[in-house]
Amino acid sequence: MSSCIAAELLKKNKTVLYQTAPVLLESIIDYKMSKNKDLNNNIYKTVLETDLLIIDDLGTESLNSMKLSEMFTVLNTRLLNLNNRVTKTIISTNLGIKDIFNVYEERIGSRIVGFYDIYYFFGDDLRFETKKNS
């Protein structure tokens, strides 16, 4: 579903970044900790300003205080348009609402629950179906 939304926005010349939560957070931290920041390859700016950010597999990353802080900053900046741009974010996760509050601090959980539309998808995993038919 996220890929289909991304494809339609790309057709309209919008910018889209699709990344798993673990890779996204590692990339941000690597960039911020780097002494040699390449201004032409500023992943942090891209994450904050892309028209659509798709964070896949939220809850699969190993967390520490720095990653929690960066996740909060990304979500908060994009939600409140602190980047002076209207930006949208899609988050996919296998975590339930209760799990989100247990895994992440309340500041993150309350933003996800309070500012995002939540949809539940049921049914067979398409990855298993594809493998059976191969």
For the segment 76-119, what is each residue's pLDDT rounded down to a tens digit?
999 998 878 889 999 999 999 999 999 998 999 999 999 999 99
**What pLDDT does residue 84 have?**
83
Tens of pLDDT along 7-22? 999 999 999 999 999 9
Nearest to 71 by CA among 117, 104, 113: 104
Euclidean distance between CA atoms 80 and 76, whole angstroms: 6
**Count of residues for the chain?**
134
Tokens of 60: 């699969």
Q: Which of 35-39, 56-60, 95-99, 123-127 has the lowest mean pLDDT?
A: 35-39
89-106 burial, b for 16+ CB within 10 Å, e for fewer?
A: bbbbbebeeeebbebbee
Domains of the chain: 2-132 (3.40.50.300)
Q: What is the mean pLDDT of the chain?
A: 90
Predicted TM-score of the model (pTM): 0.88
Contact status, residue 57 vs residue 93, Cβ threshold 8 Å: yes
Checking if the pLDDT of 67 tops 60, the result is yes
Q: What's the rounded mean pLDDT across residues 66-84? A: 92
